[in-house]
Amino acid sequence: MVRMSPDTDGEEEEYLSADLYLDLAVTLYEAGATVQRVGDSVRWLAGSLGDENVHLAVGYEVIELSVHHRDHTESRLYVLRDPVRVNLSVLHQVSGILHRIPSYQGNIAAIREDLIGIRTRPIIYPVWVIIACTGIACAAFGWINHADLPALWVIWVSAVCGLSIRVRFGKDLNNLYLTTLMTALSGGLCAALLTPFSHTQTPQVALISSVLFLIPGAMLINGGLDIIRDHTSCGIARLTSVFTQISIISGALLIPLGMMTITLQPQPAGDIMILIPTMSLAAGIAACGFGVLFNTPVSVLAGCFICSFAARLVRETGIYAGADPFFSRFLGMCIATVIAAGIGRYAHVPEVLLSVIAGIPMVPGLAMIQGLQGLFTLAHSSTMQQEQVLMYAVQQILFAGVAVLALVGGIIFPIIMIARKNMRI
């Protein structure tokens, strides 16, 4: 039997507890938590309140909850309509509530009131700060990918333009993929129009860097973790959404690519003693900027910087020492994830998202754009030496794909080893 409303005072408490568990699950999922973290948190809370027979099913668009009591079952269903937006501040505050559950002394109404307060609380940073910091993060990513100085202001302006349009019109469009298309197209066109005035020699780097904030890194990692932890349907749905968004971004960039001069840019060499520290510093700055975009608490931004700095330092040192570039990326992300796990335990934030923020500056953006541009070049019937261009494009795309897999593995492998027996709350 499924009851839809309480009949007695005792049943009213059972009714409210089911609402509380559903509110917790929805809050965590919409803030970017993995299915495992959502389930562990609900079970932890239910166990603390004396409910041992709680079942939760989390899908990509639906959350179902049932709480079995002595003579009846409370059931809840929630349809997820809005796209998931990573919000580290919400996850941080929810974790704080769960760690002080005993202080509530079983007061379900007080717990739920605080939980609803977290969901309705405004973001930490003003919108203009988020937009400006995201532009700085994209410019720092451009520097990591060997953009010259004139390209940096192009990246900043283009990223600010694209994100501003997303903030202004995203809710009106009410569709994740249309919003991604419009943002990528506006940011890319802005970069293409500004590069002739900047006299930059690295226009392709400016183009890909200006839309980096659109890459759904958190959803990619969460999808992989969900599949590994046997939450297959949700994981596949998340990965499908990731690949769809990346395809939209790539397609949207074809138009501004066609407006640029076709050049295949070799990566310049430099003084190792200067290059390694500056690259690592730029990665840390980029991570802080993306941390602001993800509404990371101010106290945790330093952790974002440390994780990204460490990952890039290991990656650059390994490559210049002659190690395999993919292994260097993997090792760098493993070390960053271990550091993130320590910071996450102390600060009550998910180590997965700290690792994702640290890994965004490690994305092989230059290889991606050069591979895409090579394929675009082949579309012109007048292109000479098509075999050479095709081989170069395929090589760059394969390099980018394997590099991304190394980054994903460097995040997932340590997390699985560290958290294989512990509940994530």
Residue 162 clears pLDDT 90, i.e. is over it: yes
Residue 264 clears pLDDT 50, i.e. is over it: no
- Is residue 133 within a helix (H) or strand (E), and if so which, with residue range? helix 127-144
What per-residue confidence (pLDDT) applies to 139? 94
Q: What is the mean pLDDT of residues 207-235?
A: 84
Give the lowest-confidence range in 12-21, 70-79, 141-150: 12-21
Residue with tokens 């952790």: 303
Of 173, 384, 168, 146, the closest CA to residue 268 belongs to: 146
How far, in Å, CA of 320 to CA of 308, rounded? Answer: 18
How far, in Å, CA of 308 to CA of 358, rounded? Answer: 4
How far, in Å, CA of 386 to CA of 374, rounded? Answer: 10
| DSSP label at residue 191 | H
The per-residue pLDDT of the chain, averaged, comes to 83
What per-residue confidence (pLDDT) applies to 15? 66
What per-residue confidence (pLDDT) applies to 419? 67
The more confidently predicted of residues 82 and 255 is 255
pLDDT digits (tens, 9 = 90+) for 100-152: 888 888 888 888 889 988 888 888 899 999 999 999 999 999 998 888 889 99
The answer to whether residues 155 and 121 touch, using CB atoms and an 8 Å cutoff, is: no
Residue 266 clears pLDDT 50, i.e. is over it: no
How far, in Å, CA of 90 to CA of 105, rounded? Answer: 23
pLDDT band with cut points at 50, 70 and 90 for residue 335: very high
Hey, where are the domains in the chain? Answer: 9-120, 127-418
Terminal-to-terminal C-alpha distance of the chain: 31
Residue 199 clears pLDDT 60, i.e. is over it: yes
Q: What is the mean pLDDT of residues 162-185?
A: 88
What per-residue confidence (pLDDT) applies to 259? 73
Give the lowest-confidence range in 28-32, 359-363, 420-424: 420-424
How far, in Å, CA of 69 to CA of 39, rounded? Answer: 19
What per-residue confidence (pLDDT) applies to 67? 85
The answer to whether residues 311 and 359 touch, using CB atoms and an 8 Å cutoff, is: yes
What per-residue confidence (pLDDT) applies to 379? 64
Residue 267 clears pLDDT 60, i.e. is over it: no
What per-residue confidence (pLDDT) applies to 246? 84
pLDDT band with cut points at 50, 70 and 90 for residue 385: low
Which pTM was predicted?
0.84
What per-residue confidence (pLDDT) applies to 184? 92
The answer to whether residues 383 and 389 touch, using CB atoms and an 8 Å cutoff, is: yes
pLDDT band with cut points at 50, 70 and 90 for residue 396: confident
What per-residue confidence (pLDDT) applies to 158? 95
The answer to whether residues 415 and 226 touch, using CB atoms and an 8 Å cutoff, is: no
Report the share of the chain in percent with pLDDT over 70: 87
pLDDT band with cut points at 50, 70 and 90 for residue 404: confident
